[in-house]
Amino acid sequence: MSTTFENLLYDLDTASGILTITLNRPTKLNALNAATIAEIDVAVEQALDDAQVRGIILTGSGEKAFVAGADIAELAALTPAQAARAAERGQEAFARIEESTKPVIAAVNGFALGGGCELAMACHMRVASENARFGQPEVNLGLLPGYGGTQRLPQLIGKGKAIELLLTADQVKADEALRLGLVNHVVPQAELLGFCRQLLSKILGKAPVAVGLVLECVNAHYDKETDGYAAEAHAFGQAFETDDFKEGTTAFVEKRAAVFIGK
């Protein structure tokens, strides 16, 4: 059953299997409050359970911001215990994105600051418009990132540079984010969603089970309780049991394009 969202737009193109989730709080520059984080979690869970959804694009409404940060007025009213739980809730929602076996691309159309940068980093890939800006400005408020920023930023750009950005609260322009490895591509804003759809369509042309297993294995590397190499070997064996493996190898021998069914 489809859910109605107050702060999101949920648009599934059934022909391609591409779902576009748009954060839709334009008067707040799509700032994250508790209700929006909860809706993101529900939307992603719904997408993962929907066989029609094969890949996801996550973006923000308007041309100024992907997500300009957290809702500071809401945060300021929290007790320490409430704040810790709010951070845990955000981490849980963003982990669901990161651990998705369906590819998720962040189409970053402007400011991605604080929680917005953390949300983008939870996605498997990031494509930025030329006017995009990234940063973790929490120390300016006497805070620190709470939705995984201290963990994912070092993974993406390295420990030293991540600590510099976390401690200075400096913003990074799109071209610098590309150089650092924080984003995969930078494109003109008018081309952003089209580029993301093209990139996702290319991925969706590959064997779906294999794509999901790749995502699982990459995430296993960062799980302290998991041996990533063992996970990869196990997944490699799993792939041999799939119809997609049979189709892919047969198509290769027959010199034709493979037609995968995701089994």
pLDDT tens for 77-96 read 999 999 999 999 999 999 99
By C-alpha distance, which of 168, 113, 157 is closest to 135? 113
pLDDT value at residue 262: 84
- pLDDT tens-digit readout, 157-205: 999 999 999 999 999 999 999 999 999 999 999 999 999 999 999 999 9
Compute φ and ψ for 166, nearest 5 degrees.
-65, -35
Give pLDDT, residue 2: 63
What pTM does this model have? 0.95
Residue 196: the pLDDT is 98
- Which pLDDT score, from 0 to 100, does residue 203 have? 97
Q: Domain spanning 8-204: which CATH class is it, in words?
A: alpha beta
Tokens (6 digits) for 104: 């998720």
Residues annotated catalytic, as ranges: 118, 138
β 133-135/172-173 pair status: antiparallel
State the helix-helix crossing angle for 149-157 and 159-168, rounded to 10 degrees: 130
Mean pLDDT in order along the chain per 10 residues (263 residues): 85 97 95 96 97 97 93 90 96 97 98 98 98 97 96 98 98 98 98 98 96 96 92 95 94 94 85
How far apart, in Å, do the first and last CA atoms of the chain sit? 24
User: In 3D, which of 139, 173, 79, 77 has the Cα closest to residue 150?
Assistant: 139
DSSP secondary structure letters along 101-136: SS-EEEEE-SEEETHHHHHHHHSSEEEEETT-EEE-
When the candidates are 1.10.287, 1.10.20, 1.10.10, 1.10.12, the CATH number that belongs to 208-253 is: 1.10.12
C-alpha distances out from residue 96 to 35, 50, 166, 253, Å:
16, 15, 24, 38
What is the percent of the chain where pLDDT is above 70?
99
Look at residue 79 in the predicted model and tell me its pLDDT.
Answer: 95
Paired tokens of 173: 């322009």
Annotated domain spans of the chain:
8-204, 208-253
Nearest to 98 by CA among 63, 148, 141, 139: 148
